[in-house]
Amino acid sequence: MSEKTVIDEQIEMLVALMKEEGPMTNTEISLYFAGAGVTGKSSRSNIISTAFKRGITRRKKVKGSNCYEYRLAYRYPKFGISYEETPRNMRPKEDIVEKCKRSSNVWQFDQLLKSARGGHAPQEISL
């Protein structure tokens, strides 16, 4: 059996709050969770963004401010926008081996040896 994670419980709290209160801005949601004992602004923002990415809420930019208004997606299916997995939203797929190679001094030295020897470096150096 899979147990509910902390973020799942907090999202349930958010859904219950929005059922009771209706549309809310991210500032109001953040203040609610601060009062509920969720410490750290990044934790509160994570709750809001996770609910948006899972399709539980929809959002719309509030004119004249730098915040969003959130509403429950099942109650307001045509409100604002929903999260879409677009190339702009996706994290770039990075190969960890290639990333480590680029920062490795040994690999860079090996590349210098390859270029100095005409495109190939011996696998073993015998003395």
In a domain, 12, yes or no: yes
Confidence at 21, pLDDT banded by 50, 70, 90: confident
Handedness of CA 39, 40, 42, 48 (dihedral sign): positive
Confidence at 111, pLDDT banded by 50, 70, 90: confident
Lowest mean pLDDT among 69-73, 90-94, 118-122: 118-122
For residue 127, is pLDDT > 60? no
Number of domains within the chain: 2
* Bridge partners of residue 72, in order along the sequence: 57
**CA of 7: how far to CAs of 41, 84, 86, in Å?**
14, 21, 24
Provide the CATH number for the domain around residue 33: 1.10.10.10
Structure pTM? 0.61
Domain of 116 in residue numbering reads as: 91-121
